[in-house]
């Protein structure tokens, strides 16, 4: 079996899988980029309360744009060209992956967490949109840089094949991707403003009241509404679902606010712009409010604190207020 020809690859642990993989791939191929910059330049921050899509019978609550948006957003705003390939035939997907690895190329892969053996058993669940980097192979193992973990891992060919071609929602269909053309340099002044404008529209001008700032307020009202309905007994389960979507699925609501705040802070230094630094601080405060909501809701749904839906609604509206204030600052750009 071939030995690893990509031994120069530098593993980087990150807060979120897709933004971490994109930043690491670009850096490895010659365009240095931090994870917050990749996340921010893609305009990936969002909020959506989607009752038509259910998870365990509860509405989907999203705190970022859908999987794949970071890859496409960085391409659009930075001028990177990416090759993205999916496969109907798993055998062909395997051959193409190994061909790229044997040529010394590091590639991003979309996988299902459940089939990755280096994940502890208690962390495995059926989620088909986890991103990682394969940067080589030795014997029957792929060498893996998974941004969730502190160190690199190994994954057998058989397990990776299952992870890449798992069925179900968000099925990856063997997706692999890698940059093929990079700009000589990034026009940060243009790219940052362009990305912020797009994200402003997502959070403030979405046509549906369940998206963006209005979506956060909609979530606040839904908690109070449920407490007064004939299904009030489901309130603890509903709160547990909200907290799980916020803190346990991917990076979570507060986590994405902190990543975007880091993007604003880095941008403030690059552009010598005090307004961006102020907006970074304001969004960090919003992230703190999201964490406070998760803490109080967890206590209430576990009977460690009396149920108080008005308090929870008030915290969520403060989240909305702080995020709205952040975007009004950024609008001045």
Average pLDDT over residues 263-285: 98
Average pLDDT over residues 297-325: 97
Which domains are seen in the chain, by residue range? 17-33+81-181 (3.90.70.10), 188-331 (no CATH)
* Count of CA atoms in the C-beta half-sphere (13 A) of 192: 22
pLDDT of 125 reads: 84
Question: Which of 37, 78, 41 has its CA nearest to residue 266?
Answer: 37
**In the chain, what are the helix, strand and coil shares in percent, each to the nearest 5?**
55, 15, 30
Alpha-carbon distance of 244 to 117, in angstroms, equals 23
E-strand stretches of 147-223: 153-156, 176-181
- 23-64 residue pLDDT tens: 999 999 999 999 999 999 999 999 999 998 887 788 989 999
Q: How confident is the model at residue 170 (pLDDT cuts 50, 70, 90)?
A: confident
Strand (E) or helix (H) holding 284: helix 274-301
* Count of CA atoms in the C-beta half-sphere (13 A) of 138: 10
> How do 107-111 and 58-64 pair as beta strands?
unpaired
Average pLDDT over residues 186-206: 96
DSSP string covering 26-71 = HHHTT----HHHHHHHTT-EEEEEEEEEEETTEEEEEEEPPTTHHH
Distance in angstroms between the alpha carbons of the first and the last residue of the chain: 54
Q: How confident is the model at residue 1 (pLDDT cuts 50, 70, 90)?
A: very low
Ramachandran category for residue 212: left, alpha or beta (phi over 0 → left; psi -120 to 50 → alpha): left
Task: Give SS3 for 198.
Answer: helix
Other CB atoms within a 10 A radius of the CB of residue 23 amount to: 26
Instruction: Report whether pLDDT(250) > 60.
Output: no
- 87-139 residue pLDDT tens: 999 999 999 999 999 999 999 999 999 999 999 998 888 889 999 999 999 99
Average pLDDT, whole number, for the chain?
94
Residue 48 phi/psi, 5-degree rounding, is -150, 135
Residues 118/144, Cβ–Cβ less than 8 Å: yes
pLDDT of 6 reads: 58
pLDDT of 124 reads: 86
Q: How confident is the model at residue 305 (pLDDT cuts 50, 70, 90)?
A: very high
Contacts of 111 (CB under 8 A, 6+ apart): 128, 130, 131, 132, 160, 163, 164, 166, 172
Beta bridge partners of 61: 49
Instruction: Report whether pLDDT(253) > 90.
Output: no
- Of the two residues 214 and 254, the one the predictor is more confident about is 214
pLDDT of 5 reads: 56
pLDDT of 169 reads: 82
What percentage of residues in the chain have a pLDDT greater than 90?
Answer: 86
pLDDT of 333 reads: 84
């Amino acid at each position: 079996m071939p030995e690893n020809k990509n031994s120069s690859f530098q593993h980087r642990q990150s807060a979120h899988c897709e933004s971490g993989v994109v930043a690491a791939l670009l850096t490895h191929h010659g365009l240095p980029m931090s994870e917050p910059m990749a996340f921010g330049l893609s305009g990936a921050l969002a909020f959506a309360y989607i009752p038509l899509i259910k998870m365990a019978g509860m509405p989907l609550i999203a705190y970022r744009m859908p999987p794949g948006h970071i890859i496409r957003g960085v391409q659009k705003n930075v001028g990177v060209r990416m090759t993205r390939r999916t496969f109907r035939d798993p055998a062909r997907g395997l051959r193409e992956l190994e061909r790229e690895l044997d040529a010394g190329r590091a590639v991003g892969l979309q996988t299902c967490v459940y089939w990755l053996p280096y994940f502890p058993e208690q962390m495995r669940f059926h989620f088909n949109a986890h991103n990682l980097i394969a940067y080589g192979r030795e014997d029957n193992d792929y060498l893996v840089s998974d941004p969730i973990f502190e160190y690199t891992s190994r994954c057998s060919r058989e397990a990776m094949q299952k992870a890449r071609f798992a069925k179900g929602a968000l099925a990856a269909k063997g997706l692999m991707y890698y940059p093929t053309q990079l700009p000589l340099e990034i026009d940060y002044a243009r790219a940052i403003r362009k990305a912020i404008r797009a994200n402003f529209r997502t959070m403030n001008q979405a046509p549906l009241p369940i998206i963006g700032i209005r979506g956060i307020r909609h979530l606040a009202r839904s908690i109070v509404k449920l407490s007064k309905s004939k299904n009030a007994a489901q309130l603890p389960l509903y709160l547990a679902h909200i907290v799980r979507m916020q803190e346990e699925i991917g990076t979570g609501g507060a986590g994405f606010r902190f990543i975007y705040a880091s993007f604003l802070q880095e941008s403030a230094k690059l552009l010598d712009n005090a307004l961006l630094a102020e907006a970074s601080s304001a969004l960090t405060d919003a992230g703190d409010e999201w964490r406070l909501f998760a803490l109080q809701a967890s206590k209430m749904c576990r009977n460690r604190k009396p149920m108080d839906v008005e308090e929870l609604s008030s915290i969520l509206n403060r989240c909305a207020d702080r995020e709205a204030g952040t975007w009004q600052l950024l609008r001045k750009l």
